[in-house]
Amino acid sequence: MPTAELSYQEAKELLIQAWGTLGSHWGINKTMAQIHALLLISPESLTTEQIMEELHISRGNANMNIRALMDWGLIHKTHKPGDRKEYFSSEKDMWEITRQIARERRKRELQPVIKVLGQVENIKDDRTAHTKELKQVTKELKFLVGKADSFLNMVTGFDQSRFFNFLLRLKK
C-alpha cells in the first residue's frame, strides 16, 4: 500500500506533534517543543498572538514557554519597524541547534550529576561488602557520565564540516 500524500496542514500537525513527543522524552515540555517546531517551519517570524492562535494555547502558557526557549538559546526576539509587537524566530541551522542543545544539557544535567558522584566516591571505607560495591559502582558511573560529558563538549566545539566528517566515519 503506497503512503498517501499529505496536505500541508496535515504534515504540519504531524511534525509539531512528533517534535513535541520527542521533546517530552528530553526534559522539554510538550508546548515548548511545539512552539519550537512551529517557529522552525515558519518562513516568517511570529508574534505571541499568532503562536497562541496556531497552537490553541493561552497567553500565559505561550509567554512562559517562549521565555524558556529563549533561555535555551533556541529562539530569538526580533522587532519590525513601526510595529510595537515582539516577533519570534527560530535558529534555522540544524547543526547550530544541535550544538546549543548539547551545551545546555551538559550544563543542566551532566555536570550536577558528576559533582554528586565525586562526593559519593569520597565515602569512608569501612571495608564492608556494601561499601565496596557502592564505591565500585560510583567509580564506573562517574567514568561513563564523564565520557558522555566529553562527547557533548566535543560536539559544541566542532564546526559543521568537522561534524560531517564525523558522520561519514560513523557509517562504519
| Chain contacts with its own copies (rule: CB under 8 A) | 3, 5-8, 11-12, 14-15, 17-18, 21-22, 24-27, 40-43, 92, 94-95, 98, 105, 108-109, 112-113, 116-117, 119-120, 122-124, 126, 128-134, 137-138, 140-141, 143-145, 147, 150-151, 154, 164, 166-167, 169-171
Q: Which stretch binds DNA (CB under 7 A): 24-32, 109-117, 136-144, 159-167?
A: 24-32
171: cell is 557509517
Q: Which stretch binds DNA (CB under 7 A): 8-16, 79-87, 129-137, 157-165?
A: 79-87
Strands (E), the chain: 46-47, 75-79, 86-90
Please list the residues that pair with 89 across neighbouring strands. 76
Residues 121 and 105: beta-carbon distance below 8 Å: no
Long-range contacts formed by 155-159: CB under 8 A, 24+ apart: 155/98, 155/99, 155/102, 156/99, 156/102, 156/103, 156/106, 158/99
Please list the residues that pair with 86 across neighbouring strands. 79
Rounded least distance, CB 82 to its own copies, Å? 23
92 binds, among DNA, its own copies, none (CB under 5 to 8 A by kind): its own copies
CA distance 58 to 88: 17
64 binds DNA (CB under 7 A): yes
100 binds, among its own copies, DNA, none (CB under 5 to 8 A by kind): none
- Give Cβ neighbours of residue 167 (< 8 Å, ≥ 6 apart): none
- Which residue lies nearer to its own copies by CB, 13 or 59? 13
Which chain residues interact with DNA by CB under 7 A?
29-31, 47-49, 56-61, 63-67, 83-86
